[in-house]
């Protein structure tokens, strides 16, 4: 039987022949880990701690018209949790790249690689447009590549730019190269990316074919494409609960929705890839959550603030914020038998004891008058086996930088998130992606 990844690629190829370039449909990557949405989310969220450590430890990196392009997005099993259909090389080789708004570098597993995850690999030798970049390339220090040997002779061949990168609980070694990257109908020549040739450690939480960096740094898609997309992209993430769904990554200002409410985008020089926004408060139902003063403060030195991230599964709040949110949520739900814990969730209750519609909505308030009221499916996760539901948020783990709030992909599902780096803003609009 064909693998689920192979099936997804065939479905995407078929869809591309009938859809317009402005909006390409996508389909589920693999079956959920469990038939129960609750168990499925808990399984996917097990790698969140490593993801949060990555977000909190971002070091400062080196600095250095209008047509709409839409590429398909599908839910994946390993963080980052969504993949986008892309092409590399000439002739084109298809790849499902993990969509990551908090990473800059794009990379792909390349052949040969005996330690890479099982699955399709990009074959540089089969691409007439692939070029290896040497250690003296201006791109090499941006990817934190190894410098050229100091004793390199005049007639000696210059070695390729090689770099290592940690990812989740593994690390990989890659060489830097350029090739044509294809997204939707767009062909982006001479795109710099890492060609992974070896992986150290478990590959369970490593993207199976590669990653597309959508951060703000100089190696990211936005930086490498310049005026093609003018620093604008948006994405709409489909729900984990639906096997068949549509979602999209839309590149460029054209075709973005008009009903978007924008909040300012904040910059942190110590974590320049991340998309920070200023959350001013939370409300549960009609009640504002009473948090200690300064709980949402933005601090470039400590990294404090709120990050919009496509790769984390469950939204995490700092300890004082989450404690206040949980208290107000429990007060309004008033579950007679109290609350239990399950995995990362500590506010689970018996739904048979709570009136239908008894769970209140959670709203994120941001600068610019943006009030993002989460759909109920983004707030509560239900078990299909028992009358149990859990508040789908948690406290930031204590083993990472616990001053960072992360609005994760579970809370972004069925919401169009528009990132406009040129105008320093992030927008939100409700959109059905299922």
Supply the residues annotated as catalytic. Answer: 100, 309
- Which tokens go with 38? 């609750």
Task: Give per-residue burial for 193-203: e unless 16+ CB within 10 Å, then b.
Answer: bbbbbebeeeb
Cα–Cα distances (Å) from 237 to 1, 266, 423, in that order, read 28, 23, 23
Contact between 192 and 176 (Cβ < 8 Å): yes
Q: Rounded to an integer, what distance in angstroms lies between the CA atom of residue 144 and that of residue 188?
A: 23
Q: Could you tell me the strand order of the sheet in which 370-373 lies?
A: 287-288, 279-284, 362-366, 370-373
On the question of a cis peptide bond just before residue 416, with omega within 30 degrees of 0, the verdict is no
Cα–Cα distances (Å) from 136 to 82, 161, 229, in that order, read 34, 8, 29
Nearest partner of 277 among 303, 256, 301, 298, judged by Cα: 298
H or E segment at 177? strand 170-183
């Amino acid at each position: 039987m064909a693998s689920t990844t192979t099936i997804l690629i065939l479905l995407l190829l078929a869809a591309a022949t009938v859809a317009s370039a402005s909006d390409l449909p996508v389909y589920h990557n693999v079956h959920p880990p469990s038939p129960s949405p609750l168990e499925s989310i808990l399984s996917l969220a097990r790698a969140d701690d490593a993801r949060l450590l990555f977000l909190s430890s971002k070091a400062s990196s080196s600095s250095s018209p209008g047509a709409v392009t839409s590429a398909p997005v599908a839910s994946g099993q390993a963080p980052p949790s969504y993949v986008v259909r892309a092409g590399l090389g000439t002739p084109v080789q298809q790849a499902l790249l993990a969509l990551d708004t908090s990473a800059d570098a794009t990379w792909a597993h390349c052949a040969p690689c005996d330690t890479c995850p099982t699955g399709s690999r990009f074959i540089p030798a089969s691409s007439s447009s692939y070029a290896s970049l040497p250690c003296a390339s201006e791109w090499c220090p941006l990817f934190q590549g190894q410098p050229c040997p100091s004793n390199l002779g005049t007639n000696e061949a210059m070695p390729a730019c090689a770099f290592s990168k940690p990812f989740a609980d593994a690390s990989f070694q890659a060489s830097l190269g350029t090739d044509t990257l294809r997204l939707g109908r767009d062909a982006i020549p001479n795109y710099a990316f890492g060609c992974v040739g070896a992986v150290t450690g478990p590959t369970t939480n490593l993207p199976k074919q590669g990653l597309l960096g959508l951060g703000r740094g100089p190696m990211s898609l936005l930086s490498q494409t310049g005026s093609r997309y003018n620093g604008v992209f948006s994405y709409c993430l489909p729900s984990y609960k639906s096997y068949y769904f549509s979602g999209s990554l839309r590149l460029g200002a054209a075709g973005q929705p008009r009903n978007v409410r924008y909040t300012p985008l904040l910059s942190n020089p110590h974590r320049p890839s991340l998309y920070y926004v200023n959350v001013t408060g939370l409300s549960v139902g009609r009640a504002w959550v009473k948090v200690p003063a300064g709980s949402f403060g933005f601090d470039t030195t400590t990294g404090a603030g709120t990050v919009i991230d496509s790769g984390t599964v469950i939204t995490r709040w700092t300890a004082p914020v989450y404690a206040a949110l949980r208290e107000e949520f429990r007060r309004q739900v008033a579950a007679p038998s109290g609350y239990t814990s399950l995995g990362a969730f500590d506010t689970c209750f018996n739904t048979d004891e709570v009136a239908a519609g008894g769970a209140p909505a959670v709203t994120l308030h941001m600068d610019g008058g943006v009030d993002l009221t989460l759909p109920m499916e983004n707030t509560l996760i239900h078990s299909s086996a028992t009358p149990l539901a859990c508040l789908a948020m948690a406290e930031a783990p204590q083993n990472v930088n616990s001053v960072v709030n992360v609005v994760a992909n579970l809370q972004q599902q069925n919401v169009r998130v528009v990132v406009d780096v040129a105008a320093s803003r992030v927008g939100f609009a409700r959109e059905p992606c299922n």
